[in-house]
Structure 1
Amino acid sequence: MKHLLLICLVTILFSSCQEEEKIYKDKIYEKPEINPNPELVALSPQESMERIHLPEGFKIELVASEPMVSEPIALAWDGNGRMYVAQMNTYMQDADATDENEPWSRVMLLDDTDGDGVMDKSSVFIDSLVLPRIILPLDDRVIVGVTYDRNLYSYRDTDNDGVADEKILILGDPDRDNRNLEHQDANMIWGIDNWLYVSNDPFRYRFENDRLIRDTLPEPMPGQYGLTQDEVGRLFFSRAGGEIPALGFQQNPAYGQLTLKDHWDESFIEPWPIVGNIDVQGGLRRVRAEDNTLNTFTAVSGQEVYLGDKMPGAYGDLFIPEPVGRLIRRAKVNHVDGKIVLENPYEKTEFLASTDPLFRPVFSSTGPDGSLYIADMYRGIIQEGNWVGKGSYLREMVDKYGYDKFFQRGRIYRVYHEETTLGEKPQLLNKSAGELIQYLSHPNGWWRLNAQKLIILKKDMSVVPELESIVKGNEGFFQTLFKDDKDYGIERVHALWTLEGLHAESKELVKIAMKDKDPRVRAAAVRISERYLKANDADMLEALNAMGFDKDAEVLQQVVLSARIHSEETKAMVTQIKDNYPNNELLVATTAENLNPSFSEIQMLKNKYKMTNGGSQIVAGYVIFKDFCSACHGADGKGIDQLAPSLVGSPRVTGDPETTIKILMNGLTGPVDGKEFNGPMAPAAQYDDTEIANVLSYIRGHLNNEGTVWRVTVGYVRDAYKDKKGYWTLKELEENPGLPAEKKSK
């Protein structure tokens, strides 16, 4: 009788809560009249904020601004809610990028000491850096990476004065990164799977015993600046060079890249600014004639899957800053039979847009208080110097309108819904591992991810039984009544991955999780089972084969991906999945890759060229091509409309290699074969002679069957034309005499 009364009481309370729950539906703002030619005037933070437009009910507040911060490029918080701000203080201080590579940049440490949401205390946490691009707090340590340097260090403030006084090398790599700063690794995140990911390169990392361990992936990461993950660790990249607002999200990069057709509709890549902006790399072809507004995404960066709890209806949505468009796109992330499809929920409008032409949102992040934070570099020039060279359309605009006059400013904002109450400032660093467990079910994903990370870093094995209990669902009678499994399934996901991070997940627990009612838990369990599959564990192989009858497409995809470890033993199961779902695009593509032993492009190239002279050059060149060239020329080298011409069959490629070397050294501007393209080709002279020889060997040898290029030939050309300034044009290349025959490639 007592239990019956309790159940009735709980039911009444639960029903009452549901009746009082408010359903929010965004009402987009009414677009103001667009100014096609805005005046470039530096506004105060308050004045600029008044020009930012949001859907009805959403608020934007200033958190920090100059002089406290300048040129902010990324934000991150430690477990106590202190904000680290990476600043590129030397980025494009004039149109010629003067002193850009000097060690004058910083990481700032900001704190809100009175709890009003505004930063009121700051210190220079790290000074004298070269364009910092990686910032990842661990516990009281912070991983920081800078431009051109492949080494990674952890920094710590041991005397609590706000300044780092400890610097420890956690990943040593003596090779200088010679790529343009837009193409280097950035935005390291701690994935829910306890791997640390960056935006590009074929590597991921594990933090073990206070060091980073590098793991090689089958394909280079597809992104440029910006990297985020959803609640189960699905990664979302962006690629400004290819004008791609989001990519790489159909499967984890540990299994290679998978792109499906129609992962957004055609209208998705059309932005809707509310201010004219002719300072776009593609020139007037990239703006609407009637109002000068951007017609295609071009500078996407710093995206975030919002996992907070202060913007109702937006949880799990992808927010994509577009600094050339002065806007932030909100994308609904739809799961359609396992396939991810992105959608703009607004009709020809954006979630956030500004009429201030100096508003430059470059980064977004879910904060510990549950709001969405935005870093605004607030400047004139936003494109890197390689694309603003003399003779380019952009340089003409910069000189004509004075974009180079605005720099060394920066603002940080937060956005939330006015009918919510912002969350408390965290104090997680001094909590025990046992105390942190409660936050694995927090409605704000920032708390869940940080609690998981901190428990793992503490290495306290006494919490293993409680974590196992969560995975098994043993929360107790009263707690179970109040828990909506849709919400608390994610707690079991985090508990399972926390055990994995502690190396404490037992085989039996993984097999139990494979039968969980929440598909997110089942998919995580399948991934974690790979440790046993690699050890040829027969019981786990049997359990994996049994998972082939799962009814959830995303779980089945993970089963197929994990089955690659035992391709022969699981081939029948994978084939059965393919036959059972002949119309499921995701499963058809994933099973096809599984059944193809050369699903990795790198492995295919190794197999094809392993016995040929120059084969290693072609393989190494592919990695550079994928990272630097494919964004504009396409993954197959056949060009992308308006971005860049085809390299396949190109007379510049199939002819004398000297011509292609010259183009890589200084770039190319003007029409190509009678066609205009989206701005100049940027020079690649920052690559050394070996790297340029390798990428040309891939382009000539693999894409065109024209043989490889010697490193010494690149050196001769570099030296012969070392005094050349600015881009080449095709006319100049045709008129310029070549090198002596004995100095050319074989």
Structure 2
Amino acid sequence: MFDCSRSLINLLPIRNQRMNHRLLLTAAVICAFFACHPGKSSVDTDNTPPPSLDAQTSLSHLQVEDPLQVQLVASEPLVVAPVAMSFDASGRAWVVEMTSYMPDTLGTGEADMNGKIVILSDSNHDGRMDTRKIFLDSLVLPRAVCLVGNGVLVAEPPKLWFIENDHDHPGKRTLVDSAYAYGGNVEHQPNGLVRAMDNCIYSAKSSKRYRYDHGRWMISDTHFRGQWGISQDNYGRLFYNNNSANVLGDYFAPGLGAGNPHQQRVRGFDETIVSNSKVYPLHHTGVNRGYVKETLDSEGRLREFTAACGPVVFRSPALGAAFENNIFVAEPAGNLVKRNILNPDSAFKVKGHQAYDGKEFLASDDERFRPVNLYTGPEGALYVVDMYRGIIQHKTYLTDYLKGEIRKRELTKPLNCGRIYRIVRAGSHPLIQPLNTSPDSLLAALHSNNGWRRDMAQQQIVDRQLQELVPQLKQILADSTGNAWIHALWALEGLHALAWNDVEPLLQDARNEQRQVQALAVLPAVVNASNSTAILAVLGHLAGSYPHLGVPIALDLPAFGNNPEAGKLSAALSMVGTNDVYLSDALISNAKDKEQQWAEGYRAMKRDTNAVFYRRLQGAIKKAAEAKLAEKNKALAKQFPRGAQIFNTVCQTCHGGDGNGIHALAPPLNGSDWVNGDPRKLSSIVLFGLGGPIRVSGKTYPEISGDMPAIGNNREFTDADIAQLLSYIRQSWYNKAAPLTEQDIRRTRDANPGRQKAFTMDELLQIK
């Protein structure tokens, strides 16, 4: 329930309608001309509503770091309201169009079935897209696309579908997950669908991952990550963010450490990578909390992220060595793109800092420039997806303040624009190069200096199951230089051609920590009943010789099942890592339903009960007990049906379905003194919002930088609805406070006539 200044939505039923392309394009040209070409090109001032600009004029308002240049790749009518895209091996862009998002401040017509997935091509090879083909239409607010094998993954909340590609027309549909996007509201549902180096597909705002293997779709648990957009680095580590956090990410391989649902969080995942969230827009910024002190500076410009999204680790040297492996973050509310420099300080940990103080990598004074996603392109350029829209805050959290700004600044229109840009070296015009997909060429592409080409080559090898390449891949694996060996390793994993004798040399290569790290990440793929004891012996030796490998070794232990040697190694690691939070959490991630047994054994050995390991174990024990309260909440949902519905669509997306909060996003509701205390304070928070420092039950949450938005102005929720919501929360989990009535909510409104400003902690404490 924290301030969200952009929203990216969900997908409803798919219908294929083949339309005459020429007729569609003609109609779109007429529509886009009147919507996006108002006949003037001056930028906004504080007194004059900012005009919508045609693509070329808007391009001229973009300021980018020297010696770089922004080039227009596509614009209306070729593309409308783009929010995500993916390049195929031919260099074509598969673009998601979210056409019906927030047509006005009421969201009128938002459920219209006019979203699309379109294929854009550069037919004359001049670096600009010039051909549009509709692959899917009649979609409601589509949000992501992922190309896999001979088809496309598409979300249809709450479902995830795989749709085969029949000559660029939708073919057979397979239901991959019936609960891909269960619960949540339009700002808070899974998205991203990034295909990572480990051959699995990950989403932001989700704790599931997907894998396509020999015609079968498999689903497994992973760590909950981010909000909108997700990316990987050259080592397969995932990076993401939430709307108020610049960069979050993982230290360890994404497929490990998520085996215990009783852990609130596993350290080493969802870490703060860049803590500095200051932004530097070029002009006045209209945001949801613009009236809150310190949100805007003295010139009305946004101070810190409020809509961070679409991060990308830029894995290309095309802009120059200084920009390679930087992580870029979009901020549509501030009309800018942030550049961050990553600083690995070990084989695992990585931190970062902003590239500049007081300015941005890319910024515009065109208020409708809304960068929502960033990508590395086939030619190595940095791509920017610009939704080009006035309203990006969803109605669920829209304040009266921002409604007023939208009216005053005439930001409701246009609705038929959209742009895709790329950033290149000034004066260059690189071609959008396809990937040669012959087997020999795919091997060569694994050595490319462009991460997109390496990823695509690996995916082609795995999707097509090119077993004839196994010998050459093993030869590449022996080479410790460059990045090709990593992709060869995971390509072999995807071909099910990897064996223990391929992995062991990497584990033993103490000169190259990354080879050891990748070997540990891929190890579960080669463990079997005949080799598990031998492998554990090697791991035990490594743990003793290289203590820094203890965490990834501990994360690997579930692969060994009930092998008693695994238990011995786990015990040995716990002896040396009692106060290491990363190692403690890695070990506890293997203790599902054994937490109490582990705690009893720990106490029996009379070990320090103040140690990090024991305290973290107690947290898991508490959460396991809370899981048993699910039946209580089912009964409450029957008693307060509207309250439960609102909680599942609005509150749980930030506070968690278990009420225990989500790291860097929102504090717990379970056991909260605000929830269980004076109902006037709780209803004030929900009706009017909460800003400033956040302290719950004596604990301050400094990692949470966003404000909690109010829902009191949302016409979808009556006072009776809000009373049900708070009653449901006040009696859920361990909470045992009395329910509220509609009259209680009305009294809080009456006590604060005309209030728009969010409450602070100090103000709430003064309520007696």
TM-score bin, normalised by smaller chain: 0.7 to 0.9
Compared with structure 1, are the counterparts of its residues 270 and 547 closer, same or farther at alpha carbon in structure 2 (3 Å cutoff)?
same
Q: Unaligned regions of 5+ residues in structure 2, if any?
A: 1-42, 259-264, 561-565, 596-615, 638-643, 695-705, 718-722, 754-768
Separation in 1 of the partners of 2:668 and 2:408?
Answer: 29
Equivalence for 1:628 = 653
The match for 1:209 among 189, 202, 214 is: 214
Matched, 1:521 2:540: no
Q: Secondary structure at the match of 2:323?
A: coil
- Residue 173 of structure 1 aligns to which amino acid in structure 2? S
Compared with structure 1, are the counterparts of its residues 493 and 334 closer, same or farther at alpha carbon in structure 2 (3 Å cutoff)?
same
Deviation at 1:400, TM superposition (A): 2.4
Compared with structure 1, are the counterparts of its residues 670 and 321 closer, same or farther at alpha carbon in structure 2 (3 Å cutoff)?
closer
Separation in 1 of the partners of 2:728 and 2:87?
Answer: 44
Separation in 2 of the partners of 1:639 and 1:165?
Answer: 39
Equivalence for 2:556 = 562
Matched, 1:503 2:513: no
Separation in 2 of the partners of 1:495 and 1:304?
Answer: 23
Deviation at 1:142, TM superposition (A): 1.9
Separation in 1 of the partners of 2:691 and 2:128?
Answer: 52
Deviation at 1:731, TM superposition (A): 2.6
Does structure 2 conserve the Cα–Cα contact (< 8 Å) formed by 1:283 and 1:678? no
Equivalence for 1:133 = 143
Deviation at 1:92, TM superposition (A): 0.8
Deviation at 1:629, TM superposition (A): 3.0
Taking only the aligned residue pairs, the percentage that are identical comes to: 24
Equivalence for 1:76 = 86
Separation in 2 of the partners of 1:534 and 1:618?
Answer: 44
- Residue 710 of structure 2 aligns to which amino acid in structure 1? P
The TM-score normalised by the length of structure 1 is 0.76
The match for 1:200 among 171, 186, 205 is: 205
The match for 2:232 among 224, 229, 232 is: 229
Does structure 1 conserve the Cα–Cα contact (< 8 Å) formed by 2:435 and 2:453? no
Deviation at 1:254, TM superposition (A): 3.9
Q: Within 5 Å, give how 1:290-689 maps onto structure 2.
A: 290-312=298-320, 313-337=322-346, 338-388=348-398, 392-418=400-426, 422=430, 425-428=433-436, 431-473=437-479, 486-487=481-482, 490-516=483-509, 517-533=511-527, 535=529, 537-549=532-544, 553=548, 555-563=549-557, 565=559, 568-575=567-574, 578=577, 598=595, 604=621, 607-609=624-626, 614=631, 628-630=653-655, 636=661, 648-650=671-673, 653=676, 668-669=687-688, 679-681=709-711
Deviation at 1:188, TM superposition (A): 0.1
Deviation at 1:730, TM superposition (A): 2.8
Does structure 2 conserve the Cα–Cα contact (< 8 Å) formed by 1:633 and 1:639? no
Deviation at 1:395, TM superposition (A): 1.5
Separation in 2 of the partners of 1:300 and 1:236?
Answer: 13
Compared with structure 1, are the counterparts of its residues 57 and 128 closer, same or farther at alpha carbon in structure 2 (3 Å cutoff)?
same
Does structure 1 conserve the Cα–Cα contact (< 8 Å) formed by 2:248 and 2:273? no
Compared with structure 1, are the counterparts of its residues 652 and 570 closer, same or farther at alpha carbon in structure 2 (3 Å cutoff)?
closer
Once the two structures are superposed, residues 23-53 of structure 1 have per-residue CA deviations (whole angstroms, 9 ceiling, x without a partner) of: xxxxxxxxxx996667411112111111111
Deviation at 1:425, TM superposition (A): 0.9
Q: Secondary structure at the match of 2:187?
A: helix
Compared with structure 1, are the counterparts of its residues 608 and 504 closer, same or farther at alpha carbon in structure 2 (3 Å cutoff)?
same
- Residue 49 of structure 1 aligns to which amino acid in structure 2? L
Compared with structure 1, are the counterparts of its residues 552 and 613 closer, same or farther at alpha carbon in structure 2 (3 Å cutoff)?
closer
Corresponding residue pairs, total: 649
Does structure 2 conserve the Cα–Cα contact (< 8 Å) formed by 1:672 and 1:730? no
- Residue 362 of structure 1 aligns to which amino acid in structure 2? V
Once the two structures are superposed, residues 342-364 of structure 1 have per-residue CA deviations (whole angstroms, 9 ceiling, x without a partner) of: 20021222111111111110010
Separation in 1 of the partners of 2:526 and 2:726?
Answer: 38
Deviation at 1:234, TM superposition (A): 0.8
Separation in 1 of the partners of 2:728 and 2:501?
Answer: 50
Q: Unaligned regions of 5+ residues in structure 1, if any?
A: 1-32, 474-484, 687-691, 722-726, 736-746
- Residue 315 of structure 1 aligns to which amino acid in structure 2? E
Separation in 1 of the partners of 2:225 and 2:636?
Answer: 17
Q: Secondary structure at the match of 1:189?
A: strand
The TM-score normalised by the length of structure 2 is 0.74
Once the two structures are superposed, residues 203-259 of structure 1 have per-residue CA deviations (whole angstroms, 9 ceiling, x without a partner) of: 111112334211123x5x13111111111111112212xx12222423436424445
Separation in 2 of the partners of 1:311 and 1:556?
Answer: 38
Q: Within 5 Å, give how 1:122-271 maps onto structure 2.
A: 122-146=132-156, 148-158=157-167, 162=168, 164-173=169-178, 177-217=182-222, 219=223, 221-240=224-243, 243-251=244-252, 252=254, 254-256=256-258, 257-258=265-266, 263=272, 268-271=276-279
Q: Secondary structure at the match of 2:424?
A: strand
Q: Secondary structure at the match of 2:247?
A: strand
- Residue 574 of structure 1 aligns to which amino acid in structure 2? L
Does structure 2 conserve the Cα–Cα contact (< 8 Å) formed by 1:59 and 1:418? yes
Once the two structures are superposed, residues 266-314 of structure 1 have per-residue CA deviations (whole angstroms, 9 ceiling, x without a partner) of: 6x11111111103334534354342111111011111111112212222
Separation in 1 of the partners of 2:669 and 2:627?
Answer: 27
Deviation at 1:472, TM superposition (A): 2.3
- Residue 65 of structure 1 aligns to which amino acid in structure 2? S
- Residue 249 of structure 1 aligns to which amino acid in structure 2? D
Q: Secondary structure at the match of 1:302?
A: strand
Equivalence for 1:477 = none
Q: Within 5 Å, give how 1:47-126 maps onto structure 2.
A: 47-126=57-136
Deviation at 1:577, TM superposition (A): 5.8
Separation in 2 of the partners of 1:507 and 1:698?
Answer: 51
The match for 1:706 among 712, 733, 736 is: 736
CA RMSD between the two structures: 4.3
Separation in 1 of the partners of 2:636 and 2:255?
Answer: 19
Deviation at 1:459, TM superposition (A): 1.3
Compared with structure 1, are the counterparts of its residues 627 and 460 closer, same or farther at alpha carbon in structure 2 (3 Å cutoff)?
farther
Deviation at 1:167, TM superposition (A): 3.7
Does structure 2 conserve the Cα–Cα contact (< 8 Å) formed by 1:381 and 1:404? yes
Separation in 1 of the partners of 2:618 and 2:652?
Answer: 14
Compared with structure 1, are the counterparts of its residues 326 and 729 closer, same or farther at alpha carbon in structure 2 (3 Å cutoff)?
farther
Separation in 2 of the partners of 1:673 and 1:448?
Answer: 45
Separation in 2 of the partners of 1:693 and 1:253?
Answer: 39
User: Which range is displaced more, 204-213 or 501-510?
Assistant: 204-213
Does structure 1 conserve the Cα–Cα contact (< 8 Å) formed by 2:248 and 2:271? no
Compared with structure 1, are the counterparts of its residues 423 and 519 closer, same or farther at alpha carbon in structure 2 (3 Å cutoff)?
farther
Q: Secondary structure at the match of 1:394?
A: helix
Separation in 2 of the partners of 1:615 and 1:632?
Answer: 14
Separation in 1 of the partners of 2:44 and 2:557?
Answer: 54
Separation in 2 of the partners of 1:705 and 1:354?
Answer: 48
Equivalence for 1:731 = 749
**RCO higher in 1 or 2 (8 Å CA, sep ≥ 6)?**
2
Deviation at 1:633, TM superposition (A): 13
